Amino acid sequence: MIPLSSQHAKITMQLIADRLGVSKYTVSQALSGKIGVSEATRAEVEAMARALGYRIKSDKRSAYSKPPKTVSDAASDLPYAATLISDSEVLHTETAPACVAIWVHDAQRKEPSFWSRVLGGVMLGCSNNGWQTQVLSSDKLLMDNPMASPLTDITSPACLGSIVLGTLPIRSLHKLAQLHQAHAPIILVDHEEPLIRADCILNANLEAARLACRRILSQGCKRIVFVGKDAYSVSFQERWWGCRQALDEYSRQLEGYSLRKWTISYGQPAWEQQLAKRVGASPSEELPDGFVCANDEIALKLLKLLQEQSISVPSRCKVIGIDNIDASASSTPPLTTVELAKELLGTRAVEALERNLTHPSVHSEKVILSARLITRGSG
């Protein structure tokens, strides 16, 4: 493991310059109170200095009329300071505990069956490494001023890197990369973005859907419906593609197979009502032989709606979900599903972060965790 103390105990003047995109000379002039630096630039340098752990005294020089004679004089305003002259003469700050920023959408954080378990895996992995964690709302990457608290926390050398759970727009990921300014790695969980240098830890969503659809087809179903919403997440899109692949493989050998999609506004308050309306509007004889649902939550709701319509599962319709959440084993009938990693997604993300810290120049990796079919009573 990389020695953490070396990452946050010593800071060079060049680091401040790199963070702000200015020269080391500008940083020197700003911190020494010399003329030739605008007030706006001086304020930015001091703000970054504070963000990195410096404590600048409030007794400012009087309108910079009597500036210190040397950079060493300016550095004396910063407790625990060595001189800020070269990269070899570093500023020693108070030791801060190593921390990992975890980004997750508010709704995902409250969801108990999947994302909260992934988050638990991340926090467990960090704890085992002796790292503290800070859980941040992904929405802040769009809403907050990049230099506003708590976003400034991740610019601190004590922040080892960021782990992002779920989907983020490319604009948000670019902002995160800019905040880190390449000093710390970014790990994406259940999402990938080729334009961002980051390791990706993924579930085999396409493989999971192929397993589910092949299971339905092997049970004699010919008319299949996929229930989900592509726009909800990349994983939902991949699960739809997996169903299409499985059906294409079957239809090359046999005729009479069909695959349709029921799109519902999953993730919005009205999705259950939409699904109920869709089931209620379909005469029993027009219902498909089998349903593949984008996740177990949708599948469990569908099971309940079919029972309310006196439609027998699995004799009339077969239903398969994806994820293998806890409730799937206790439904009536128990839900056939495909198990995907949850806590393991989180712990593998921490391992990826440690790998990047130990070998900063290593190539990015994409890790895909396999799926496993769990056969129960619904299909």
> What average pLDDT does the segment 317-338 reach?
96
How many CB atoms sit inside 10 A of residue 271's CB? 17
The tens digit of pLDDT for each residue in 189-204 reads 998 888 888 899 999 9
Beta bridge partners of 262: 227
Looking only at Cα atoms, what is the longest distance across the chain?
90
Task: Assign 188 to helix, strand or coil.
Answer: strand
**pTM (whole model) above 0.85:** no
SS3 186: strand
Q: How confident is the model at residue 366 (pLDDT cuts 50, 70, 90)?
A: very high
Residue with tokens 């769009």, as numbered in its chain? 142
The pair of three-digit structure tokens given for residue 314, joined into one six-digit string: 């699995």
Burial level of 261, CB count in 10 A (0-12/13-18/19+)? middle
b/e sequence 275-297, b meaning 16+ C-beta within 10 Å: bbebbeeeeeeebbbbbbbbbbb
Q: What is the pLDDT of residue 344?
A: 96
pLDDT tens-digit map of 283-310: 888 899 999 999 999 999 999 999 999 9
Residue 74 pLDDT greater than 70, yes or no:
no
The residue ranking higher by pLDDT, 71 or 105, is 105
